[in-house]
Structure 1
């Protein structure tokens, strides 16, 4: 076997992988954001989630891509582990379709696929048609890669060294480990199964060895998800672990079945006698379906095991409690006054969470605490979720037959909720300013930091008073609030003037200067939101404590 044959084999593998990537990317681009929307909504029951996992993975030809999206949803709190496991199970079935497709002999049509795909991709300007072209071109590259691989693999059967290596795989344990390692290297079970198919068609692999390679490939396919979870929170890590546990249990189940009832393999082979490529594809699909059917009823136990390995911390429990509505329980027979009171308390609770977030953001800016920054971003997601849930309940309130006065109060509380949500947005902005300074290695002068600290403290005091006014509807502190707001506005004018002067004397880092201006603006806007929150339930403008 010459070095050029090895180059040819590597080139075939590369072309196949690139074709898979192009096809997957084209499918995702053609579908737009619909795939993510489907994944988010299709978790009402586990059976539907499994079907969606199958369908989406068939479309994008990548269980890893589906699983990574699921990790992102769980990481952001939009999906629970109980919802995620169904999609993960479905993805394990959907990924077997690639092997089914490649089991067909399409070598005569590959040049036509390549030509048609290139024409659509290069000469058509409509974006959707271009994406379709990239899908067709990806299919063509995929099959052309297989053709090149088969041509390069043929001489391997005559090579003694390679034959000796393949003999070692007759040991089921070694075959299983090789399947895990090879798939982890390629980061795609679809790719490794297709390569195993090519080896088997050329007579290098036997069906008995391929069985254990298939089982190992399912375990190795979890590698991209484990890597993606490294930067995720604990829930994201649990999702990746959930996938790993599912595939480890799957491996144990399948090994037990084929050893206890070897006739199962003979039955699968009998579906496509004499066609080992199709036999491997069928085995891959049937194994996936059987594993899902057996494990689906025990999904709750797999989730419990996942949580035992990565325990739920007290702060995670608190986060989950924060993201659930505590007071609002809109019911058709509920007295209007009670429903409105519950809404008021829920929004006030959200206000306290947003206030805490702003406090932490300011502290993070001056301390540079990265853990505090992560908490601010998590709490910002909490406020966003609460705002959305409260908004949905407020819409339901309108169906209770409210009076015009009550409808006005619902509208005013909805506006207050929006102001509170914006306060939390500014908290996230402040944290990002600190990250920008760190990334650019820019330093802000101690004078500038002291000015910002004083302005921030004044703004936080005004927001604290505004929330008290909102909660108690006691407007006796309105004059004090407006006095603090005037101070914040004066700080803005003074700090910007001082900043310009520092710039003129070249005593200010350019990046730090931009951050300084931005954070002053954010602090001033938080002061404005404080005024809006304090006055929101009155429905009237207040100036210096007097109605106008």
Structure 2
């Protein structure tokens, strides 16, 4: 293998180990921190300054501003946080990501293997999950530095390459070329932390004199600015297909980084002097890694301080940039809240599932009302179509909610409580689907009566309407217990069930008595009994939902989500309240 290929493969291999170590450390840190840290961060978005702090803390833990940005875009798209709050968190994320460069500036080459060994032993031997995760953090931290060491070792020969020295000279002489290089590198790798790590290693190679850096701080800063511009592509990609607010957050992220880079580029010589002034002194080749880390931190902190009081201006700018077109009419079967970008945050994802099931429950209330209206009066084609559309929409939503919950099991690490809640909520939405099917069958039975050229008597219609009203009340009682975690006893469930069963039994007897007296057509008995049968199944479905509530299945409230969520949020979209005060979509903690 020739020297060029050996250097290329060594660089790619070291980069792969670095990225793997960073991702594993991020995952382990999240698991070790747990929901307690998330709840603490929940208090940090009540004003922009605290939002910046929240973003910085979360990104320090996640070790990736891109991960934080994608998560925030998902939350904004789902209406969990407002745009000004999201923008302040994005600002903080840019500060938090500089911690990686600061860590890499430490010379830990003599301690890498002991760190890896200690982390491995803790992970391999311990039986406690928390200790295992801490061990994985230490192990991954060592891998991260091992990747840096590999990249550094394979890049040393480049310092003596005439071609490479000439290329670095062009970058130093043409700063715009450095910005372009940094942007392209980050676009390809999709991690500014990784490209800055590569930059720190490149810059740490000594030039021909053995003292000065091969690229120097003035040559490294433009590449650093390009890295900051390139990292915005993740936010842009994450916002594709999302809400208008999510696209505006991505635009704010781009605006922040591009405007900051433009200003820093214009004052490049002065910026470099400030960085040198605040950094440790010594031979350039030994201190430039720290200088780059300090430049990264100084850049993001300064730009944040400039933009922080101008957040309202940023909101107006991105609102003008991403115009609010008229919203198209949505299909009943299209989810309003589910967002795949929050699947890695189980509590937030379950909150969205809860809101979506609240949406389905409101549709069920509307569907029961439509079915009742069809029974109550001479049905019209429009009313029949409405009920069919509602039933189809509920079934389609059930499918999408079910798929989302399955994805949640696949893509996130839920604890036992969250797993039980997810399974329970899946049971609730499945029951709602069955109610849609029952109502559709009732419509089919009414069609059968109409096609026979006969009709139910006014008394029979009244009895069925009364039964529907009792089912509606029972349904709202059961759903309230799930939505708001209100206590419901077996005594209440059995009492409501017995009352409905008694009504349905008495209606059957009353119908047979009318047939006997010649007041009702005997040919309608089968259809009438089929309608009553499906109403009994609707009662069973209500019992099923109430039983889930008794088993401690409830909607996840906003206060349970924890991660960077405020106490109150105004969503761009509201949901209509159901009748009788039913509003299963609010899910307010």
Q: Please state how far the C-alpha of 1:253 moved relative to its aligned partner.
A: 2.7
The 5-angstrom pairing of residues 294-333 of structure 1 reads: 294-313=306-325
Alpha-carbon distance between aligned partners in 1 of 2:467 and 2:184, rounded to the nearest angstrom: 58
Q: Please state how far the C-alpha of 1:357 moved relative to its aligned partner.
A: 8.5
The 5-angstrom pairing of residues 99-248 of structure 1 reads: 99-170=101-172, 171-202=174-205, 203-248=213-258
Which residue of 520, 537, 541 maps to 1:525? 541
Matched-pair contact (CA < 8 Å) for 1:492–1:524? no
Q: Is residue 283 from structure 1 mapped to residue 295 from structure 2 by the alignment?
A: yes
Q: Is residue 363 from structure 1 mapped to residue 389 from structure 2 by the alignment?
A: yes
Matched-pair contact (CA < 8 Å) for 1:361–1:372? no
Deviations along 1:402-434, whole A, 9 cap, x unmatched? xxxxxxxxxxxxxxxxxxxx9xx7499549x99
Tell me what 1:265 maps to: 272
Matched-pair contact (CA < 8 Å) for 1:238–1:307? yes
Alpha-carbon distance between aligned partners in 2 of 1:29 and 1:313, rounded to the nearest angstrom: 41
Shift in alpha-carbon separation, 1:50–1:362, aligned structure 2, 3 A: farther
Alpha-carbon distance between aligned partners in 2 of 1:350 and 1:49, rounded to the nearest angstrom: 33
Deviations along 1:343-394, whole A, 9 cap, x unmatched? xxxxxx999787458888962664799899999x9xxxxxxxxxxxxxxxxx
SS at match of 2:109: coil
Tell me what 1:454 maps to: 444
Deviations along 1:136-176, whole A, 9 cap, x unmatched? 01110111111111110011223344344434433222211
Q: Please state how far the C-alpha of 1:9 moved relative to its aligned partner.
A: 1.5
Deviations along 1:110-159, whole A, 9 cap, x unmatched? 01100001001111121111110111011101111111111100112233
Matched-pair contact (CA < 8 Å) for 1:357–1:427? no
Figure out how many residues of one structure are paired with residues of the other and give that number: 418
Alpha-carbon distance between aligned partners in 1 of 2:61 and 2:539, rounded to the nearest angstrom: 47
Which residue of 92, 95, 100 maps to 2:94? 92
SS at match of 2:45: coil
Matched-pair contact (CA < 8 Å) for 1:355–1:464? no
Matched-pair contact (CA < 8 Å) for 2:83–2:249? yes
The 5-angstrom pairing of residues 453-532 of structure 1 reads: 454=444, 462=468, 491=530, 525=541
Q: Please state how far the C-alpha of 1:59 moved relative to its aligned partner.
A: 2.0
Tell me what 1:33 maps to: 35
Report the structure, 1 or 2, having the larger helix content: 1
Q: Which moved more, 1:195-204 or 1:27-36?
A: 27-36
Matched-pair contact (CA < 8 Å) for 2:360–2:394? no
Tell me what 2:451 maps to: none
Which residue of 72, 75, 78 maps to 2:77? 75
Alpha-carbon distance between aligned partners in 1 of 2:317 and 2:466, rounded to the nearest angstrom: 44
Shift in alpha-carbon separation, 1:158–1:33, aligned structure 2, 3 A: same
Shift in alpha-carbon separation, 1:354–1:5, aligned structure 2, 3 A: same
Runs of 5+ unmatched residues, structure 2: 206-212, 331-335, 338-358, 371-385, 404-424, 448-463, 477-498, 509-526, 547-577, 583-589
Matched-pair contact (CA < 8 Å) for 2:101–2:293? yes
Matched-pair contact (CA < 8 Å) for 1:42–1:49? yes
Alpha-carbon distance between aligned partners in 1 of 2:177 and 2:506, rounded to the nearest angstrom: 72
Alpha-carbon distance between aligned partners in 1 of 2:387 and 2:170, rounded to the nearest angstrom: 59
Matched-pair contact (CA < 8 Å) for 1:362–1:456? no
Deviations along 1:228-258, whole A, 9 cap, x unmatched? 22353333332222222221222223223x2
Runs of 5+ unmatched residues, structure 1: 324-348, 378-421, 435-443, 471-477, 497-519, 538-548
Alpha-carbon distance between aligned partners in 1 of 2:467 and 2:97, rounded to the nearest angstrom: 56
Alpha-carbon distance between aligned partners in 1 of 2:67 and 2:112, rounded to the nearest angstrom: 26
Tell me what 1:409 maps to: none
Matched-pair contact (CA < 8 Å) for 1:463–1:527? no
What's the TM-score once normalised by structure 2's chain length?
Answer: 0.60
Tell me what 1:540 maps to: none
Shift in alpha-carbon separation, 1:372–1:174, aligned structure 2, 3 A: farther
Tell me what 2:568 maps to: none
Matched-pair contact (CA < 8 Å) for 1:27–1:132? yes
Shift in alpha-carbon separation, 1:308–1:459, aligned structure 2, 3 A: farther
What's the TM-score once normalised by structure 1's chain length?
Answer: 0.64
Q: Per chain length, whose mean CA-contact separation is higher, i.e. which structure has more relative contact order (CA < 8 Å, sep 6+)?
A: 2
Deviations along 1:192-215, whole A, 9 cap, x unmatched? 111100000014422112111111
SS at match of 1:108: helix
Alpha-carbon distance between aligned partners in 2 of 1:33 and 1:456, rounded to the nearest angstrom: 52
